[in-house]
Amino acid sequence: MPGRILITGASIAGNTLAFWLGRRGFDVTVVERAPQFRDGGQNIDVRGIGREVLRRMGLEQAALEHGTGEEGTAWVDAQGKPVAIFRTTPGSEDGPTAEMEILRGDLARLLYEPAKAHATYRFGDHVTAIAQDDAGVTVTFASGTSERFDVVAVAEGVGSSTRELVFPGENDPRWMDLTMAYFTIPRAADDDKLWRWYNAPGKRSISLRPDRHEATPVMLSLHKTPDGEHKWDDDKQKAWLRERFADAGWQARRVLTAMQDTDDFYFDVLRQVRMKRWSNGRVVLTGDAAWCATPLAGVGATVAVTGAYVLAAELARTSDVAVALAAYEKAMRPMVEEAQGVPKIAPRIMHPQTRLGIRLLHGALALASRPAARRTAAKFFARAPKEPDLSEYDHEPAEVAQRA
């Protein structure tokens, strides 16, 4: 039976969930801490089953049209000369660049626009307390109000504060020993349609990617054990990056200069969210709050939209919330566990310590980029995770179809 649902986080998972729950007749409210919808963000891709979910939403073609235009990935030397290129062709999902490459904010907005016709969005607020019983959940917000919901779905990020209210201390993160910063800088005349990846000695890398907004997304990466850097403020993080990358070469000077004035700086120490359960009573986790696999997995957006679709479908199937949430977890757990199976050695391999190590990496990539080796190499960059059977949700109950 449809009821009142609260979704925390206007994320890719949150917006997908709002769309499908609202379409199925639920009374949906989405609360988002940010004061307004957040555009921008770095490149993500959607593959396989994720594209099927977008297709069922009528958004697949729009997502392709809003793509970044990225035509492949090139590893470059200190002079910017490609040493290995993996080009993407229409209809192909192999390799580090997928056919559907899109900025996080562009995909989130494509999902948000139709979702807001089915849901009420509240920006600039967040959950501060949750109390639940057998009949529902009482939620207190930072704005001072309290409301009653039948189900609360937490669709926040890796450091979800709402998750910690309901599942205190239950996240056992898997640290990936990779510190990364994302931001955009003004586009230069020689920026092209390739994702250009440069390795510098000292386990460092710089990458520049295309987008559709006359800017160039940047990623700075450093392979090291975490030391609390993600808890620093932006100024300290930027100063640390300037010190670490000052002598990196290639376009480091351009990137570090532009970093000072960027308005979309994001810094994180990569860790996976590892939860033994995704629900506690009537509160359920989805998206990164439940299972963040980190960008290294290459399937974050794909799993996010798939999980939201399955969760909405299971909640629409039965009035027994416990049964619905258990079925959702059973359907999604194999896909998530496969997605999280990124070997910790992967960041180390892709970030050599020495110039000799970089030459060996480039040689291996050049070999892998040859046509005869492409299929095998693609499995390293984008593994197809185990997927739930969406055919189980092909036929909605008659009352759901009527409400839609």
Question: How many CB atoms neighbour CB 47 within 10 A?
Answer: 18
Nearest residue to 84 via CA among 179, 199, 217, 219: 199
356 burial (CB, 10 Å; 0-12 / 13-18 / 19+) is: exposed
**Lowest mean pLDDT, pick from 3-17, 39-53, 139-153:** 39-53
For residue 88, give Cα distances in angstroms to 5, 62, 65, 73, 161.
40, 19, 16, 8, 38
Helix axes 12-23, 104-115, angle to 10 degrees: 20
What tokens does 110 get?
């494509």
- pTM, to two decimals: 0.90
Strand 4-8 and strand 27-32: pairing? Answer: parallel
386 pLDDT exceeds 90? no
1 pLDDT exceeds 80? no
50 pLDDT exceeds 60? yes
Secondary element (H or E) of residue 182: strand 174-186
Q: Which CATH superfamily is domain 4-39+104-173+272-343+386-403 in?
A: FAD/NAD(P)-binding domain (3.50.50.60)
Question: How many CB atoms neighbour CB 164 within 10 A?
Answer: 14
Spatial distance between the Cα atoms of 28 and 117, rounded to a whole number of angstroms: 10
CA 26 from centroid of its chain's CA atoms: 26
Spatial contact of 98 and 382, defined as CB atoms under 8 Å apart: yes
308 pLDDT exceeds 50? yes
Question: How many CB atoms neighbour CB 45 within 10 A?
Answer: 25
**How many angstroms separate the first and last alpha carbons of the chain?**
15
Spatial distance between the Cα atoms of 232 and 130, rounded to a whole number of angstroms: 29
Residue 68 pLDDT class (50, 70, 90 cuts): confident
- Highest-scoring range by mean pLDDT, 38-52, 88-102, 117-131, 201-215: 117-131
**Predicted local confidence at residue 44, as pLDDT:** 87
326 pLDDT exceeds 50? yes
Nearest residue to 43 via CA among 241, 258, 193, 242: 193
Distant-in-sequence, close-in-space partners of 376: CB < 8 Å, separation ≥ 6: 368
**Predicted local confidence at residue 393, as pLDDT:** 85
* Domain ranges (residues) in the chain: 4-39+104-173+272-343+386-403
